[in-house]
Amino acid sequence: VRVVVPFDASRPKTRLADTLDPAERSALADAMLHDVLAALGETGVAPEVLSTDPIDVSVPVTVDERPLTVAVNHVLSEASQPVGIVMADLALVTPAALDRLFDTDGDVVLVPGRSGGTNAIVSRHPDFRVDYHGVSIRDHRENASLVGASVAEVDSHRLSTDIDTRDDLAEVLLHGAGRAAEWVEERFSVEVEGGRVGVTRRADHPSDQ
Amino acid sequence: VRVVVPFDASRPKTRLADTLDPAERSALADAMLHDVLAALGETGVAPEVLSTDPIDVSVPVTVDERPLTVAVNHVLSEASQPVGIVMADLALVTPAALDRLFDTDGDVVLVPGRSGGTNAIVSRHPDFRVDYHGVSIRDHRENASLVGASVAEVDSHRLSTDIDTRDDLAEVLLHGAGRAAEWVEERFSVEVEGGRVGVTRRADHPSDQ
């Protein structure tokens, strides 16, 4: 399986703008990409990055400035073997969770993301195409069905948790173990306020914002 | 394994008060309880309900008005066999996800809930006790460690998604298949606004609120 990790190097993690300044958002995005690539490497696949801009990582990078959906569909249309597409912001990723993804049978294997997204895909069908706009998990189920591909889904909290918002940082603190978790742990701690769990910034790590 | 499903029959789902009126919150809680009991039944266990008040369900009910932590610890302290504790609001539950829970080895097996909760536990250690206040997943890891119990965690989006808030209803619509999903589907649909996924109430099912 050829595994591609799409990465937005130009404006990463904009929904974290209420919590992280631009340099921090970029640093967190880099750390998460590192963790995803490392976990993929441990499963025995050789991942490559599909980036909006040139970046410096230890695996091959293809630069494609086009929107995510277009760039990924270009990869799918050119592929002569199964393709895996794994999002770069899965800070809770583990090799074990990825093994479950790659070991699941099906023409199209989907991992939903919280709030309707699709965090990972393995496509073994030549005609399957993605559409990451809107409620993508629904579109992907439908797209698979339209080309006659069987669909399976992988049930994983670790893979379904992409890190987009301030609340998601609590998930990183509670369940992460890689470079991103270390980065968040340096700057934030879990706090409980009125029975709700969130994060609070450590006084010794103020934002530059 | 003896499996207990705690249920708050008096004030269920208060964090959904911005979206559902009290009668609706109660109806949704009942539907989710039904789905959890049905899925447990399909895995071959005979669940019982630990309820704050008498309720009418097809399985044995023990009424214990005390707070959740106290009531569950009473069950644990009296148990002479492994005990499973499965929350009643897991609307995405499937027998397959529960099989993974019961098939996981470990003195204490934990399923985290989003935002620091603990959605399911199997305890095979006589001294393990729960504490559902605050960030319970951390406390449960620590409590297990303090009594010398080995800990394992189950990685399941379906079991980690408890239904507490309006946003969670989108998860039910996208991934649920039982009575709760049917109930939510009758009243709400998934909507995308400004790239974010949420739910909107159907015009033909207004709230009484």
Chain A, chain B: beta-carbon pairs less than 8 Å apart? 75
User: B interface toward A at CB cutoff 8 Å?
Assistant: 94, 96-97, 100, 112, 114-117, 134-135, 137-138, 155-161, 167, 170-171, 174-175, 190, 192, 196-197
Chain A residue with minimum CA distance to B161: A157
- Segment A111-116 shows an average pLDDT of 96
Structure confidence at residue A208 (pLDDT): 62
* pLDDT tens digits for range A126-148: 999 999 999 999 999 999 999 99
CA distances from B64 to A7, A150, B61, B77, B88 (A): 51, 47, 10, 15, 15
Statement: residue A209 has pLDDT above 60: no
* pLDDT tens digits for range B144-180: 999 999 999 999 999 999 999 999 999 999 999 999 9
Inter-chain contact A116–B190, Cβ cutoff 8 Å?
yes
Residue of A100, A135, A158 with shortest CB distance to B197: A135
Statement: residue B209 has pLDDT above 60: no
Please give the mean pLDDT across all residues of chain A.
96
Chain A residue with minimum CA distance to B98: A155
User: Tell me, what amino acid is at A12?
Assistant: P
- Segment A102-109 shows an average pLDDT of 98
- Segment A68-77 shows an average pLDDT of 98
Statement: residue A107 has pLDDT above 80: yes
Statement: residue B208 has pLDDT above 70: no
* pLDDT tens digits for range A166-196: 999 999 999 999 999 999 999 999 999 887 8
Minimum distance, in Å, between the CA of residue A192 and any CA atom of chain B: 6
> Could you give the CA distance from residue B76 to residue B90 in angstroms, rounded to a whole number?
21
Mutate one of A173, A197, A199 to test the B interface: name it (highest B CB count within 10 A). A197
* pLDDT tens digits for range A15-39: 999 999 999 999 999 999 999 999 9
The answer to whether A124 and A106 are in contact (CB under 8 A) is yes
DSSP string, B15-63: GGTTTS-HHHHHHHHHHHHHHHHHHHHHTT---EEEESS----SS-EEE
* Residues of chain A positioned with their CB less than 8 A from the CB of B100: 155
DSSP string, A121-145: EEE-STT-----SSSHHHHHHHHHH
**Which of these, A113, A203, A117, lies nearest to A160 by C-alpha position?**
A113
Statement: residue A206 has pLDDT above 80: no
Chain B residue with minimum CA distance to A198: B115
Among the residue ranges A162-166, B112-116, B190-194, the one predicted with the least confidence is: B190-194
Inter-chain contact B96–A192, Cβ cutoff 8 Å?
no
* Residues of chain B positioned with their CB less than 8 A from the CB of A112: 157, 174-175
